[in-house]
């Protein structure tokens, strides 16, 4: 089913006096508008906090592309470690009509910490950057069984003589157990070195010279006989200034003799917003008190005069041990005019004023990322001029007000939000009851109607997840469409819904959309109307790392369809995306004549380089502070999962979740249900179970007498005899996945995601009913319905409780 999103009509309005536009002006206008061409990609994922062995379920929505939608055939989804900026997991999925879905499976061995869920399609712009990109912050916790406890502590609160000390303590180890302890520290991303253990404690010394950035994170990896613990901590700033203050004059510049509103932002050295108070000083004399809110944003007004110097004096506090004075930007360095908006969150008209110290002809352009714009000419005098412009030809959302000279060179700019109260759709989702008992059948209804009550069809995905697994860093499709895709580096709203918070929007539109055109050259106004669609095209076979001497035939199997290929004399062969289509998490196997060890096959992945480059450019996310009570609540529910694992390992009853069905798999691989031994030859038939790919098991090796050795191993999958003679390549997932946390028997269901479904079609009635089984976690659960419809974006949320 193909869903057409709201059609955009490109309109241009001119005053009668602007009938003849010089060619240079027209060229500059078109050049300026081309640089802003935009496309929208959003991934609805089930939650933002995961544990090892869980799946990240997602559904992708792509629309508003500047090129044909069908050029976007592949979606690359990666999980990027925020500390190392390395790609930890990466999968590819087919896209059809702008839709895709699937999951990433988190391995048991994944390191806990902060990650970015990063996605892009196969279409690149003229600079070979993807034109459709999505990112979302996620957190990974580890709930594997632990045989010891490790604690990491910074001894010093600041650098002393260029170094800072830390320690790691280990407890809970059996004193009779012979252990091999390996501790590795990685300050920043520059060095990695082993640490010597003395007794049950290790001392770490980090030199300032080892830090690759400021601020920096120290990461510690504790490995005892294959059981790994990870720790990380933010080091004290390597700088003498722990507070970062930036100023954003409205429109871009301060002008001598003209009153301006100035936005300012205060952050800690590690990028966290901080609320501060201070005094605005003029020539070291106090003028007014100023402050920033909890998001580190604030405003004040000044009218600078000749030979006056303005500074901001910050009051001492927790992070500022003494008074700090920060100088404001120089005035009269840019255009000789200032702009002022009474409100930047408006409905059908925009009221603003322009003050100038010189008479000047200007162009005023109101334009958005969809290419819609209004253009008019005006003449400024040496007195403020007030404008009140209708916005009926522009769409809802973030819009730019740009003041240009007669040649269409931008001078000053300001963001505003048009048609704020305009609503195309009023979606609703709710469970039939506010509370359910464990194991109850939960029913919910989804309704898609416009403001007049008329039903609307659409296509959506629905998730039901434990509420404490959904953080403020997880942005819904509506906020992502109207804010995140238009404005970079948005702070997290206290309400978790920035679009509904007008005060938040006013601050963001002033501060985060700030541009100073005196620092911007026309060279940056490059043509971005060209693009290139990447696809799989070539494969290469070598023999013992040398070119082939004659053509070779090979066959692929394991995918949706088998294929036969023939190489040329150099070992090259042609391949298409469809040849690599697989069901989720499957591989394509290529078989050649002779011993597979004699051959090496390489299929060039055109998206891998792109994903790696995106990962390197990713920015760390500041998660909201988690209170001790919230942390205990989350860990309590996770403890149930650990207990369940204990029962499954030691019990002679159900092993679902730790193992598969009874008996060995097609390869003869099995797990001892009592002791977790993989392929131990003395395991009785009645205890043999099919192992699960990606799960850790134990490998037992019998020694002399009653002694034996046990090692941890990860089960990587079953290979049949045919597969053993072939070469495995990761395929492209066909998408469309369904999940509902209903156990196969009466065992407890401790899943934090109770329900996930993508590709749900809401018909012409505008209603859809769904049902699922309540789990065994007593907590609040969040329902999220996200998607698109014939009338607008679908964003509906509600909650219920399991008692």
Query: What confidence tens digit (pLDDT) does each residue in 688-732 have?
Result: 988 887 677 888 877 665 566 777 777 877 766 555 556 777 888
Residue 135 buriedness (CB in 10 A; 0-12 / 13-18 / 19+): buried
Residue 589 has pLDDT above 80, yes or no: yes
CB 85 within 8 Å of CB 616: yes
CB 278 within 8 Å of CB 289: yes
pLDDT band at 526 (very low <50, low <70, confident <90, very high): very low
Mean pLDDT of 92-101: 94
pLDDT band at 38 (very low <50, low <70, confident <90, very high): low
Least confident of 380-394, 550-564, 608-622, 632-646: 632-646
CB 76 within 8 Å of CB 92: yes
pLDDT band at 318 (very low <50, low <70, confident <90, very high): low
| Share of the chain residues as helix, strand and coil, in percent rounded to the nearest 5 | 10, 45, 45
Distance CA 196, CA 181 (A): 9
Q: Which of 50-54, 342-346, 514-518, 731-735 has the highest mean pLDDT?
A: 342-346
Distance CA 619, CA 623 (A): 12
DSSP for 540-568, written as a single string: EEEETTB--SS--EEEEESSSS-EEEE--
Residue 571, phi-psi category: left (phi > 0), alpha (psi -120 to 50), beta (remainder): left
Residue 416 has pLDDT above 70, yes or no: yes
Residue 119 has pLDDT above 80, yes or no: yes
- pLDDT score at 744: 46
Strand partners, 339: 354
The 3-class SS string of 78-144 reads EEEECCCCCEEEEEEEECECCEEEEEEECCCCCCCEEEEEEEEECEEECCCCECCEEEEEEEEECCC
- The single residue listed with the structure tokens 């819009």 is 399
Distance CA 513, CA 400 (A): 9
Distance CA 453, CA 455 (A): 6
For CA atoms 523, 526, 532, 534, give the dihedral sign.
positive
pLDDT band at 188 (very low <50, low <70, confident <90, very high): low
Percent of the chain with pLDDT over 90: 35
Residue 14 has pLDDT above 80, yes or no: no
Query: What confidence tens digit (pLDDT) does each residue in 419-462 have?
Result: 999 999 999 999 999 999 999 999 999 999 999 999 999 999 99
DSSP for 269-302, written as a single string: TTS-B---EEEEEETTEEEEEEE--TTSEEEEEE
Residue 679, phi-psi category: left (phi > 0), alpha (psi -120 to 50), beta (remainder): left
Higher pLDDT, 2 or 702: 702
Least confident of 38-42, 486-490, 524-528, 645-649: 645-649
Residue 41 has pLDDT above 90, yes or no: yes
Strand partners, 248: 263
- Give the chain's mean pLDDT: 80
Distance CA 65, CA 370 (A): 10
pLDDT band at 758 (very low <50, low <70, confident <90, very high): very high
Distance CA 26, CA 203 (A): 66
Least confident of 192-201, 330-339, 474-483: 192-201
Residues comprising the chain, all counted = 803
- pLDDT score at 2: 36
Distance CA 182, CA 222 (A): 6
CA 77 remoteness from chain centre: 10
pLDDT band at 519 (very low <50, low <70, confident <90, very high): very low
Distance CA 581, CA 536 (A): 11
Contacts of 746 (CB under 8 A, 6+ apart): none
Cα–Cα nearest to 403, from 392, 395, 412: 412
- pLDDT score at 28: 66
Distance CA 424, CA 7 (A): 13
Least confident of 346-360, 465-479, 620-634, 664-678: 620-634
Residue 121 has pLDDT above 90, yes or no: yes
pLDDT band at 664 (very low <50, low <70, confident <90, very high): confident
Residue 583 has pLDDT above 50, yes or no: yes
Helices (H), 301-390: none
Query: What confidence tens digit (pLDDT) does each residue in 322-356 have?
Result: 566 777 777 766 688 999 999 999 999 999 999 99
Q: What is the DSSP letter of 31?
A: H
Cα–Cα nearest to 353, from 399, 390, 384, 391: 384
Query: What confidence tens digit (pLDDT) does each residue in 347-394 have?
Result: 999 999 999 999 999 999 998 888 788 889 999 988 899 999 999 999
Cα–Cα nearest to 229, from 164, 166, 170: 170
Residue 100 has pLDDT above 90, yes or no: yes
pLDDT band at 757 (very low <50, low <70, confident <90, very high): very high
Higher pLDDT, 190 or 339: 339
- pLDDT score at 657: 38
- pLDDT score at 32: 59
Distance CA 293, CA 266 (A): 9
Structural tokens at position 576: 């298409």
Query: What confidence tens digit (pLDDT) does each residue in 59-77 have?
Result: 999 998 888 899 999 999 9
Q: What is the DSSP letter of 623?
A: P
Mean pLDDT of 679-696: 84
Other C-beta atoms within 10 Å of 167: how many?
13
Cα–Cα nearest to 40, from 66, 11, 9, 10: 66
For CA atoms 217, 223, 226, 229, give the dihedral sign.
negative
Distance CA 790, CA 799 (A): 26
Structural tokens at position 597: 């060890």
Least confident of 178-182, 493-497, 609-613: 178-182
pLDDT band at 6 (very low <50, low <70, confident <90, very high): very low
Query: What confidence tens digit (pLDDT) does each residue in 759-791 have?
Result: 999 999 999 999 999 988 999 999 999 999 989
Residue 26 has pLDDT above 80, yes or no: no
- pLDDT score at 504: 95
- pLDDT score at 778: 92
Distance CA 277, CA 292 (A): 7
Percent of the chain with pLDDT over 70: 77
Residue 52 has pLDDT above 90, yes or no: no
Mean pLDDT of 498-517: 87
Residue 129 has pLDDT above 80, yes or no: yes
Helix or strand (DSSP H, E) at 723: helix 721-724
Higher pLDDT, 547 or 143: 547
Higher pLDDT, 72 or 52: 72
CB 263 within 8 Å of CB 514: yes
Cα–Cα nearest to 477, from 778, 789, 157: 789
CA 233 remoteness from chain centre: 21
Cα–Cα nearest to 105, from 54, 51, 48: 54
- The single residue listed with the structure tokens 């906090």 is 49
CB 56 within 8 Å of CB 106: yes
Backbone φ and ψ of 709, nearest 5°: -115, 145
């Amino acid at each position: 089913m193909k869903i057409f999103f709201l059609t955009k009509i490109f309109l241009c309005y001119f005053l009668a006096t602007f009938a003849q536009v010089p060619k240079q002006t027209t060229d500059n206008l078109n050049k300026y508008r081309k640089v802003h061409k935009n496309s929208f990609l959003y991934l609805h994922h089930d939650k933002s906090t995961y544990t090892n062995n869980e799946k990240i379920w997602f559904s992708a929505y792509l629309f508003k592309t500047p090129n044909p939608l069908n050029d976007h055939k592949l979606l690359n989804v990666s999980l990027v470690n925020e500390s190392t900026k390395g790609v930890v997991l990466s999968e590819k999925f087919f896209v059809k009509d702008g839709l895709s879905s699937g999951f990433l499976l988190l391995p048991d061995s994944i390191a806990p910490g902060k990650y970015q869920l990063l996605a892009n399609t196969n279409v690149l712009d003229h600079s070979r950057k993807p034109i459709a990109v999505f990112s979302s912050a996620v957190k990974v916790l580890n709930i594997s069984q632990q045989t010891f406890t490790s604690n990491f502590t910074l001894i010093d609160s600041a650098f002393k003589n260029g170094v800072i000390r830390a320690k790691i303590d280990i407890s809970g180890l059996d004193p009779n157990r012979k252990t091999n302890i390996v501790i590795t520290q990685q300050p920043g991303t520059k060095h990695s070195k082993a640490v010597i253990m003395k007794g049950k404690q290790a001392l770490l010394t980090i030199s300032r010279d080892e830090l690759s950035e400021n601020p920096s994170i120290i990461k510690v990896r504790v490995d005892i006989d294959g059981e790994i613990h990870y720790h990380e901590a933010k080091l004290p700033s390597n700088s003498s200034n722990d507070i970062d203050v930036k100023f954003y004059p409205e429109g871009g510049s301060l002008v001598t003799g003209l009153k301006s509103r100035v936005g300012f932002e205060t952050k800690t050295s590690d990028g966290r917003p901080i609320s501060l108070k201070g005094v605005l000083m003029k020539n070291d004399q106090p003028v007014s008190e100023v402050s920033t809110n909890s998001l580190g944003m604030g405003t004040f007004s000044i009218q600078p005069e000749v030979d006056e110097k303005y500074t901001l004096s910050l009051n001492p506090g927790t992070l500022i041990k003494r008074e700090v004075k920060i100088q404001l930007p120089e005035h009269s360095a840019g255009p000789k005019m200032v702009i002022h908006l009474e409100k930047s969150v408006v409905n059908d008209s925009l009221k603003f004023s322009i003050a100038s110290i010189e008479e000047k002809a200007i162009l005023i352009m109101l334009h958005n990322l969809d290419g819609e714009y209004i253009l008019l000419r005006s003449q400024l005098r040496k007195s403020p001029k007030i404008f009140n412009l209708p916005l009926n030809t522009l769409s809802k959302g973030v819009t730019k007000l740009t003041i240009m000279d007669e040649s269409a060179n931008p001078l000053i700019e300001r963001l505003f939000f048009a048609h704020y109260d305009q609503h195309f759709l009023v979606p609703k989702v709710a469970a039939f009851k506010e509370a359910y008992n464990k194991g109850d059948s939960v029913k919910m209804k989804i309704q898609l109607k416009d403001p007049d009550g008329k039903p609307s069809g659409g296509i959506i995905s629905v998730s039901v997840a434990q509420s404490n697994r959904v953080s403020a860093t997880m942005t819904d499709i509506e906020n992502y469409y109207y804010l995140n895709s238009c404005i970079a580096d948005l702070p997290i709203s206290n309400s978790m819904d920035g679009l509904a918070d007008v005060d938040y929007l006013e601050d963001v539109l002033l501060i985060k959309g700030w541009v100073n055109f005196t620092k911007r050259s026309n060279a940056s106004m490059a043509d971005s109307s060209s693009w290139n669609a990447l696809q799989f095209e070539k494969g290469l076979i070598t023999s013992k790392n040398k070119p082939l001497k004659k053509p070779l035939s090979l066959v692929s199997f394991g995918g949706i369809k088998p294929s036969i290929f023939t190489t040329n004399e150099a070992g090259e062969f042609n391949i298409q995306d469809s040849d690599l289509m697989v069901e989720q998490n499957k591989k394509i196997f290529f078989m050649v004549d002779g011993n597979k060890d004699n051959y090496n096959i390489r299929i060039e992945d055109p998206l891998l380089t792109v994903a790696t480059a995106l990962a390197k450019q990713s920015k760390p996310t500041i998660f909201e502070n988690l209170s001790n009570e919230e942390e205990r609540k989350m860990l309590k529910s996770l403890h149930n999962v650990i207990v369940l694992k204990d029962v499954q390992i030691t019990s002679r009853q159900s092993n679902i979740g730790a193992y598969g069905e009874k008996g060995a798999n097609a390869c003869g691989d099995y797990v001892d249900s009592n002791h977790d031994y993989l392929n131990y030859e003395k395991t009785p038939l009645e205890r043999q179970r099919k192992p699960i790919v990606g799960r850790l098991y134990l490998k037992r090796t019998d020694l002399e007498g009653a002694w034996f050795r046990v090692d941890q191993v990860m089960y990587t999958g079953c290979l049949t005899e045919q597969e053993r003679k072939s070469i495995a390549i990761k395929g492209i997932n066909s998408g469309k996945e369904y999940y509902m946390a209903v156990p196969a028997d009466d065992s407890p269901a401790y899943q934090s995601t109770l329900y996930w479904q993508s590709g749900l079609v809401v018909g012409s009635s505008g209603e859809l009913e769904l049902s699922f089984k309540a789990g065994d976690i007593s907590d609040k659960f969040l329902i999220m319905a996200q998607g698109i419809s014939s009338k607008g974006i679908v964003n509906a949320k509600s909650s219920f409780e399991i008692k």
